[in-house]
Amino acid sequence: MKLSISTLLLSSLFLLQDGSAFVSAPSRSIIISTRQTSFLLAEAASPPPPANEKQPAAAQPKAIILDPYLPAADPKYKVTGTVGEGDFIVSRSGGPTDEELTDENLYRIIERKASDLEVNTLVWKCLGYRFDQEWKPEEVFPKWKERFPEPPDFIGMQRIYSKEIDGPSLRNNQSLVRSIPAENKASYLKKHMLPFGFTGYKVSELTPNLTRRAQCINWLLFYREELYGYTIEELKERRRLKQEQQEKERLERIEKGEEEEWKPPVKEVF
């Protein structure tokens, strides 16, 4: 069974001390879909096995538990750690580039060809942080800058999942997810990664690192499609026009006696 990536992005992953995991989605039901393979379809015409015959359970992919990464505990790791020397295209210098935001490059995050620091670095650049010997919030979106004058860790680079160490990274990631409007939360990852064969993760392979990487990719795709290349003034005007249209549609629904549609709160970055 596969967990749809839309549900994955709207859910919170909890790992228990014994290594088991569950996904909590308080605002929505978890939708799990199954797909028959060609082999199963071919076997569909065969007589069913006896009811009392026990069938072997399908093998489930196991979660890849990464070892703690102690260099990330160094406060200077953000500025001294290696970036852009492997397959993943990213540089600390300047703002985000078209090459860094291609589907092919972002898919390398799923393939684990990008380090946790490299994923963070690309998100930082898209949020407006600029590097000059150190990270500075020179072009950071105003609302985000108020809360995060320094670039936050969205992945949990130390990979130590205690409340004291990982708690801030979890909350940072949740803030990033909440900045995406509801209508954009579930679409981009599925749409742009499907051509590479990515259809989602199975519950058995989920880890905090894997989940947060997926959430970062979805935010980067949202940024590329909705924010990239626009000034703050242009984005605010687009938002104003969108809100006016939504209010018009809301009033029309009220006149028709339809129930108002509930939408989760959004804390946009600008």
Q: What is the pLDDT of residues 208-220, one digit of tens each?
A: 999 999 999 999 9
217, 207, 211, 216: which is closest to 66 by C-alpha? 207
Helix (H, G, I), strand (E, B) or coil at 14: strand
DSSP state of 24: E
Q: Which residues pair with 95 in a beta bridge?
A: none
Q: Is the pLDDT of residue 164 over 50?
A: yes
DSSP element (H, E) containing 219: helix 208-222
Six-digit token pair at 243? 């809100």
Six-digit token pair at 255? 């006149």
Mean pLDDT (the chain, rounded): 80
Q: How far is CA 194 from the centre of its chain?
A: 15
189, 153, 184: which is closest to 3 by C-alpha? 189
Across the range 19-33, mean pLDDT stands at 35
Helix (H, G, I), strand (E, B) or coil at 13: strand
Q: Which amino acid is at 81?
A: G
Token pair 């003034």: residue: 233
Least confident of 4-8, 108-112, 146-150: 4-8
CB 156 within 8 A of CB 15: no
Phi, psi of 23, deg, nearest 5: -115, 130
Across the range 241-256, mean pLDDT stands at 81
Between 11 and 79, the more confident residue is 79
CA distances from 138 to 12, 77, 104, 151 (A): 32, 20, 29, 11
Across the range 183-209, mean pLDDT stands at 87
pLDDT, residue 117, reads 98
Give the C-alpha separation, 217 to 109, whole Å. 8
Tell me the pLDDT tens digit for each residue of 46-60. 455 565 666 666 677
Model confidence band, residue 228 (pLDDT cutoffs 50, 70, 90): very high
pLDDT, residue 190, reads 85
CB 114 within 8 A of CB 107: no
CB 266 within 8 A of CB 180: yes
Model confidence band, residue 260 (pLDDT cutoffs 50, 70, 90): low
Across the range 131-156, mean pLDDT stands at 95
pLDDT, residue 40, reads 30
* Residue 235 burial (CB count, 10 A): 16
pLDDT, residue 245, reads 83
pLDDT, residue 35, reads 33
DSSP 71-130: GGGSTTHHHHS--SSSSS---SSSS--TTTTSHHHHHHHHTT-S-HHHHHHHHHHHHT-E
CB 203 within 8 A of CB 3: yes
The length of the chain is 270
pLDDT, residue 61, reads 79
CA distances from 22 to 33, 66, 108, 189 (A): 17, 19, 26, 21
Token pair 């935001």: residue: 101
Say what percent of the chain tops pLDDT 90.
Answer: 52
Q: Is the pLDDT of residue 68 over 80?
A: yes
